[in-house]
Chains A and B, each alone.
Chain A
């Protein structure tokens, strides 16, 4: 590779994996940084961008959810352990113990407490949900979220905290990764906590009956989709002007059964949208 080619590669990269092999990134980085060094006729801008990629990959970017700060580089999550984080970890282990392969694809591959820190590894690149996505991407993210809660319900659980802070996406494979199991409960049991930031997204029935029903996850998934379509309030009515009418009716309606809602959604997709794999480059 010439210096010019290396500079171009770095300057057009969207993610670290576009310029290095993540498995051997240190070696690749060393080669690249030599190539694009200003003394070799390279570019300071390219060196800076390359170093930024490396720093983020090693230290992660800071994010926040209801349990506080955490760091992720797209391949792992790291955070300090406290009671809430431990509770989430125990719930994560509960799902793992179910041994359902399909369900395991939607949660981190591995989780481990090391000293005062917990580390979840994804086993693939997954990025936090952006503030908004194009409709064609929201539709597959919604499909995956519905699949996840359907499988969780089939195994007797509700997640209770699906929202934009707790869902990562695997853009290369159109998959999702769900984290933060703070509120997970067995269906029919008493729900004790919710996410305060998204309190208005929870169905009103929950505040009356305080019971973990699939309705809770269905509502949160639909609100997350509305958020991704651009209405951060999760209400969705304003999107009726720009989005597919049947999709919006679906997102604004309540449902009690994840399987029925998933079926309804798939039928809606068939009726209204052409099936096509849309590349998401983030």
Chain B
């Protein structure tokens, strides 16, 4: 997948058509049982982000959206225009072939659909298609957090990405939410969700697996009732905290660009640029490429 082209004009038109619609009209999957089988990890052996003639330098991005009760606003904003901020900003600044997979993240302790996954896509039409198919379960519970660590497992064990496999360039995972992460996933939950899983796996283990091939970030939305828990201990500088959920798209684009050595903040208005700069102040590029020699730790 990911072979189509991103069209700024077509996206602008399609997102404008959603502008006056409410969330219930945009997101077409209304029940857990109606979730498309192809979005359930259990049914997916591999998701691929591949280079092609149209996209010779594909870059895999997983954008993992919290679909529990408090966080439905962000998928809606992406559909209504913010997805364009991500794609246009990256493409305009030389990152020509981003391929995005959307994930819907719930809670494996109490939700019916704790993880949904799209294909990796480049084209506006397909991206909107998958985004609007995500089931906003609105669940989550009064437990310790949400299942932000499930996409890490899927990324490590089921995504094959040319950016890393061919060019040694890591992809990106952004989880976005307002809760702490659940600290582990039991083997039975893994088997139920993914059809595999050898034992209880901790957040630390899953993070390490995902970090083999991806830069892993979490964007914590620090609104009134949000709890960040121990994200900082787990992710360190890759935890990005913002209090304005309206700049999530700009944060994603800026982080990817920054890790590629490009400053894109000049393309935002002054207030947004200021917020993005502040949020990314502690992110360290730290990208080391393989060499043929001995490397000192």
Interface residues on B, range: 20 to 34
Chain A residue total in the interface (Cβ 8 A) = 37
Most buried by A among B48, B165, B213: B165
For residue B19, give the distance in angstroms from its CB to the closest CB of chain A.
38
Are A182 and B294 touching (Cβ within 8 A)? yes
Are B205 and A197 touching (Cβ within 8 A)? no
Q: Which B residues contact A (CB, under 8 angstroms)?
A: 45-46, 48, 156-160, 164-166, 168, 196, 198, 204-205, 207-209, 211-213, 288-297
Are A235 and B297 touching (Cβ within 8 A)? no
Are A204 and B294 touching (Cβ within 8 A)? no
Instruction: Tell me which residues from 175 to 197 in chain A have a Cβ below 8 Å from any Cβ of chain B.
Output: 182-183, 190-197
Are A235 and B294 touching (Cβ within 8 A)? no
A-B CB proximity, top 4 nearest: A196-B291, A233-B165, A196-B295, A204-B211
Q: Which of B159, B294, B295 contacts A237, CB < 8 Å? A: B159
Cα distance, A193 to B291, chains bound together (Å): 13
Q: Which of B165, B208, B294 contacts A205, CB < 8 Å? A: B208
Most buried by A among B46, B164, B291, B293: B293
With A200-B212, A249-B198 in contact, do A235 and B164 touch (Cβ < 8 Å)?
A: yes
Are A245 and B196 touching (Cβ within 8 A)? yes
Cα distance, A52 to B173, chains bound together (Å): 52
Are A254 and B295 touching (Cβ within 8 A)? no
Q: Which residues of A contact B46 (CB under 8 A)?
A: 237-238, 240-241
Q: Which residue of A lies closest to B158 (CB)?
A: A237
Cα distance, A196 to B297, chains bound together (Å): 10
* 22 contacts across the A-B interface (CB closer than 8 A): A67-B294, A190-B297, A193-B295, A193-B296, A193-B297, A194-B295, A195-B294, A196-B293, A196-B294, A198-B290, A200-B164, A200-B168, A204-B211, A205-B204, A233-B165, A235-B160, A235-B212, A237-B46, A237-B160, A250-B198, A252-B157, A253-B209
Cα distance, A225 to B290, chains bound together (Å): 19
For residue B71, give the distance in angstroms from its CB to the closest CB of chain A.
27
Q: Which residues of B contact A233 (CB under 8 A)?
A: 164-166, 168
Q: Which of A64, A207, A231, A253 contacts B198, CB < 8 Å? A: A253
Instruction: Tell me which residues from 89 to 148 in chain A have a Cβ below 8 Å from any Cβ of chain B.
Output: none
Q: Which of B160, B288, B294, B297 contacts A238, CB < 8 Å? A: B160
Q: Compute the total of residue contacts between A and B using a CB distance below 8 Å.
A: 91
Are B292 and A66 touching (Cβ within 8 A)? yes
Q: Which residues of B contact A206 (CB under 8 A)?
A: 297
Are A252 and B288 touching (Cβ within 8 A)? no
Q: Which of B45, B165, B211 contacts A240, CB < 8 Å? A: B45
For residue B179, give the distance in angstroms from its CB to the closest CB of chain A.
24
Q: Which residues of A contact B168 (CB under 8 A)?
A: 200, 233
Contact with B along A248-262 (1 / 0, CB 8 A): 011011100000000
Q: Which residues of A contact B291 (CB under 8 A)?
A: 196-197, 199
For residue B38, give the distance in angstroms from its CB to the closest CB of chain A.
17
Is A203 interfacial (CB 8 A cutoff)? yes
Q: Which of B158, B159, B290, B297 contacts A200, CB < 8 Å? A: B290
For residue A255, give the distance in angstroms from its CB to the closest CB of chain B.
9
Cα distance, A192 to B158, chains bound together (Å): 32
For residue A209, give the distance in angstroms from its CB to the closest CB of chain B.
10
For residue B182, give the distance in angstroms from its CB to the closest CB of chain A.
19
For residue A205, give the distance in angstroms from its CB to the closest CB of chain B.
6
Cα distance, A152 to B208, chains bound together (Å): 24
Cα distance, A183 to B292, chains bound together (Å): 15
Cα distance, A64 to B293, chains bound together (Å): 10
Cα distance, A250 to B157, chains bound together (Å): 10
Are B290 and A197 touching (Cβ within 8 A)? yes
Are B295 and A252 touching (Cβ within 8 A)? no
Most buried by B among A64, A195, A233, A250: A233
Are A254 and B157 touching (Cβ within 8 A)? no
Q: Which residue of B lies closest to A64 (CB)?
A: B292
Contact with B along A32-63 (1 / 0, CB 8 A): 00000000000000000000000000000000
